[in-house]
Each structure stands twice: as C-alpha cells, then as structure tokens.
A and B are shown apart, each in its own frame.
Chain A
Amino acid sequence: SQTIHQWPATLVQPVGSPLSLECTVEGTSNPNLYWYRQAAGRGLQLLFYSVGIGQISSEVPQNLSASRPQDRQFILSSKKLLLSDSGFYLCAWSVGHSTDTQYFGPGTRLTVL
C-alpha cells in the first residue's frame, strides 16, 4: 500500500532563516505531487505541484520554491523565511490523470518568529 511521509512534523524558525521541508511517497511510481499551505482556521492553498522529476509548477508567487530531485521526493524550500510563511504545510500525492484522488501526508507545522 502507498504511504506518504513528511518531516519535520513541527518547526520553529527565525525570520530570515532558510527552510527545507521534505515529502516522500512509498508504494507507487511517478506520482503527481502537491504542496499546500493552510493558515489557521482557513482552507488549503495550492503552492506547487509536480507531474514528474524536475517538473514544477507554481500556483502562487511567493517566497517559497519547490524541487523534485527524485520520482517520489518533493521538497519545499525558502532562502529567507518571512513571518507570513507561518502555517501548516501539507504534501499530497495522486496517481493517474483524470480519475486520481489526492491523498495527504501528516503535515508540517511551521512557526516563523
């Protein structure tokens, strides 16, 4: 069966510091991968998605970037964090095209101080 991992689970970082969040999927090949952000009490905002290695599409211009160095690995990064980057970050995967369903990882809670 497929599983998705995210780490770290919780992170507290100072403003201006770098960021690296990692997401990996097991048990499937060539998944579509997604990064979402959820502010407190709000819905999900799609940040990035990837349909293959090295292929990244950005939905919202911001202080963040994403990379996909391996088929089942998706990384969210920032060179300098802003206070507004605080939130809950969720990674999701899906397989296939029109009939796929997105399944989510456990999330990372990021606090920027």
Chain B
Amino acid sequence: AQTVTQSQPEMSVQEAETVTLSCTYDTSESDYYLFWYKQPPSRQMILVIRQEAYKQQNATENRFSVNFQKAAKSFSLKISDSQLGDAAMYFCAYRSPFMDSNYQLIWGAGTKLIIKP
C-alpha cells in the first residue's frame, strides 16, 4: 500500500523569505500523481500544485514550485517570497491513476507553516 510521510509537523519562515516543505512517499507504481494542498484557518482544502510522475519537469505555480525526485520518492514544495496569507497547514497527497484504487488520495499528516512578519 502507498504511504505519504511529512516529517515536519511545523515550519516557520520570515515574511518574504523562501521555505521548503518536505514530503516522501512509498509506492511500487511507476505512474501516479502527487499534490500539495493548503488548508488555511478557514479549513477549506485548496489545491496548490500538482505533479504527474511521468513528467520530468518540476511543476510551478507562481511562487510555488516543487522538487520532484522520482528515484528518491521525494516531493518537496518550495514557497518563494513568503506572504502572510501563506500561513496554513500544507498537505502532501498521492494518487494512483488506476481505477481499482478508486482514485482516492493518500494523505500525509500535514505541516503547519507559520509566517513571521
């Protein structure tokens, strides 16, 4: 079974600085999808970025980028120019592309990101 591990329960960063959140996963599949979701205090889960495992190029979305290391099964999220609005819980998630998995997401435990003004 697939697992997702986020080893940093909490991270803090100074506003305008860069921070990297770690995520590792375990799978025997060669093709899959990885996601970072953000959950602010409102608790709505918001998609930040998505990566297809077959793509070698790292995904980017404005100030958010990932470092996808398939061989190492690592999927870290880099947030550049951190803003106060980035403060939230960040969850890493894995999804198999196969129907027999019912496309369900496998979630990490989350990392709480604190932005210091």
Contacts and interface: CB of A to CB of B under 8 A. Distances in A.
Interface of A: 32, 34, 38, 42-44, 46, 49, 51, 57, 59, 88, 90, 92, 94, 97-107, 109
Given A101-B47, A104-B45, A107-B43, A49 B102 contact: yes
A105 B97 CA distance: 23
Contact of A43 (B43, B97, B103, B108): B108
A98 B99 CA distance: 7
B47 A103 contact: yes
Given A44-B91, A107-B43, A97 B103 contact: yes
- By secondary structure, the B interface counts as loop
B45 A90 contact: yes
A82 B35 CA distance: 33
Given A101-B35, A101-B50, A94 B45 contact: no
Contact of B103 (A32, A38, A59): A32
A106 B105 CA distance: 18
11 contacts: A38-B43, A42-B110, A51-B102, A59-B104, A88-B43, A98-B97, A98-B99, A104-B37, A104-B46, A107-B43, A107-B45
B42 interface: yes
Given A104-B44, A104-B45, A94 B103 contact: yes
